[in-house]
Amino acid sequence: MPAAPARPPAERLTELDWLRIIAFGLLIAYHAGMVYVSWGFHVKSPRLVPALEPWMTLLNPWRMSLLFVVSGAATGLMIERGRGLARSRSRRLLLPLLFGVAVVVPPQAYVEVVQKLHYTGSYLDFLKLYFSRYRGFCPDGLCLELPTWNHLWFLPYLWVYTMLLAAALATLGPRWRLSPSWGWLGQRARLLWVPVLLFALLRQYLSARFPSTHDLLHDPYNHALYGSMFALGVVLWGHRDDPHGAWAAAVRLRWWAVGAALAAHGVQQVAGGWMDAQGEQAPFDPEVMWAALRALTGVKQWAPIVALLGFARLHLAGRDNAARRWLTEAVFPAYIVHQTVIVLAAPSLARQGWPLGWEMLALLACTALACAVLYLAVRRVPLLAAAMGVERRGGRGALA
């Protein structure tokens, strides 16, 4: 079994930084792709690309979960540094959330009602409705909840999980740590199958009863899923230097995890298509079969994360350079503004009549360029830097 590269103890793990960059990068690309698939989104291109959907389906089960795992590990780092966890996270998350809801997100809702409902009022007219909690915009049969946080729902969810952990630390004492009691998770293949079992049960018994809403107070399935992912991230940080811990297990199990994820996806696609074709003529109880296929989603939610953790520890540990430092700081403000850039740029690009491939590349390029320019601009203005979650630390950056 390949061993993780030896490195001196450090305050941060570069592999976590790279994973966070990768996770946010995939999220930005995914949201750009939403313009071109049949699923609901704020704006749509008149030319859809069905070939994108299978690839985006592969990302769907784990793309946000990876961010919560990395954020949980970052929280473990903050605990060890002895910072005021609640104060630091509140400043880092709540100010960008408020700025986002008030400034960044409204253009998304405006473009959506213009495109889908042919709203003819000015942007200022719309803002009056936005901040007065108007409920009369109902595209696709669902009325917009205004004001809204749209893609920024990640921030309040992460803040709640951090506050719960801070409360546990305050209650159980400053020397208490969650991670050392979880050493058994790194033994044999437990890092792979134990969380998979948990997520399969959540998928089976919660997801159908409580569909995803991104409503902080009415989203029990997502809280169970992402709260568990966050806790697993805290555990992983505690085992970063344990040769028999969870990180080492991720290295050992990485290829098994790849195989499990691909096998689960393949079985779901083939068996699900067969079940659709059979309808009520299936030779056995279809509810049992569908239940088994739903449970396989637990594999698709966790196995890719184990694989990424293992490959990152093996190939990205200690890989530090100027790009890592720049991207680590830039990726969080890019997350805040990227969807607004996509929603504003997509309709304009669609009107140009370019070949579809060039249009899609142009949307990605416009989004990346706008995010980079905005980051370079706001980092020079302390108030805007704080509002966008940029922490000026001599270029070291910080995990969310």
Q: What is the DSSP string of 294-342?
A: HHTHHHHHHHHHHHHHHHHHHHTTT---HHHHHHHHHHHHHHHHHHHHH
| CA distances for 59 relative to 26, 195, 202, 250, angstroms | 8, 18, 19, 19
Residue 380 CB coordination number (10 Å): 10
C-alpha–C-alpha distance, residues 213 and 203, integer Å? 15
Residue 375 CB coordination number (10 Å): 22
Is the separation of the CB atoms in 177 and 231 below 8 Å?
no
C-alpha–C-alpha distance, residues 166 and 145, integer Å? 31
Which of the four pLDDT bands, split at 50, 70 and 90, describes residue 6?
very low
Q: Enumerate residues 6+ apart whose C-beta is below 8 A from 398.
A: 74, 92, 328, 329, 391
Query: What pLDDT score does 392 carry?
Result: 62
Please say if the pLDDT value at position 338 is more than 80: yes
Rounded mean pLDDT, 310-326: 93
Query: What pLDDT score does 398 carry?
Result: 47
Please say if the pLDDT value at position 7 is more than 60: no
pTM given for the model:
0.92
Residue 6 CB coordination number (10 Å): 7
Rounded mean pLDDT, 307-320: 93
Query: What pLDDT score does 245 carry?
Result: 82
C-alpha–C-alpha distance, residues 222 and 210, integer Å? 9
Is the separation of the CB atoms in 343 and 112 below 8 Å?
yes
C-alpha–C-alpha distance, residues 13 and 74, integer Å? 9
Window from 82-86, 125-129, 179-183, 203-207 with minimum mean pLDDT: 179-183
Closest residue by Cα to residue 372 from 400, 342, 331:
331
Which sign, positive or negative, has the C-alpha torsion 50, 52, 57, 63? Answer: negative
C-alpha–C-alpha distance, residues 166 and 160, integer Å? 10
